Amino acid sequence: MVKKALSKLGRELSEEEFFLGSDIATGTNDWFTEGDTAGELAVDVYETAEDIVVKAPVAGVAPEDIDITAKPDMLTIAGERKEEKEVANESYVARECFWGSFSRSVSLPSEGEVDKAKVTFKDGILTVRIPKSKKHQSVKLKINQ
């Protein structure tokens, strides 16, 4: 299939040429290296009539290893997914799971009352519900006659 797709581009490459220099060719994965780099956490952010909701998959992370900081216009989730060293790095054929520290800051779509936020953790999904600020909601104005 790879060869068919490449032959449409005018040149057919061997699989070795196609994967040359990639993680697949070398059998290593340098995307996540040990050190000061932190992985980025995937999030879903949406609004309901009353709340701003942020959901993040944090499977394999204990609640005590998660740090959540909220400002009226920003939410930051940080933590660490700890790897149990059962297998030597050179034994991996593929390595896509991220292990180590992670962090994600998201701008909230509207101001929230962070002191009233509620956080739940169920089935590996962290959910933060922040009530929308009442002071920035629109109100209908009537013309005085």
Q: Give 61-112 as a 3 state SS string.
A: CCHHHEEEEEECCEEEEEEEECCCCCCCHHHCCCCCCCCEEEEEEEECCCCE
> What is the biggest distance separating any 2 CA atoms in the chain, rounded to whole angstroms?
81
Domains of the chain: 1-30 (no CATH), 33-133 (2.60.40.790)
Q: What is the pLDDT along the chain (145 residues), one digit of tens a residue?
A: 444 444 445 555 555 555 554 444 444 444 433 444 457 789 999 999 999 999 999 988 999 999 999 998 999 999 988 877 777 878 888 877 777 889 999 999 988 999 999 999 999 999 999 999 877 566 677 788 7
Distances (CA, A) of 92 to 13, 26, 86, 124: 27, 11, 11, 25
Q: What is the pTM of this model?
A: 0.64
Q: State residue 12's pLDDT score.
A: 59
Sheet of 51-57, strand order:
44-47, 51-57, 125-131, 118-122
Parallel, antiparallel or unpaired: strands 125-131 and 118-122: antiparallel
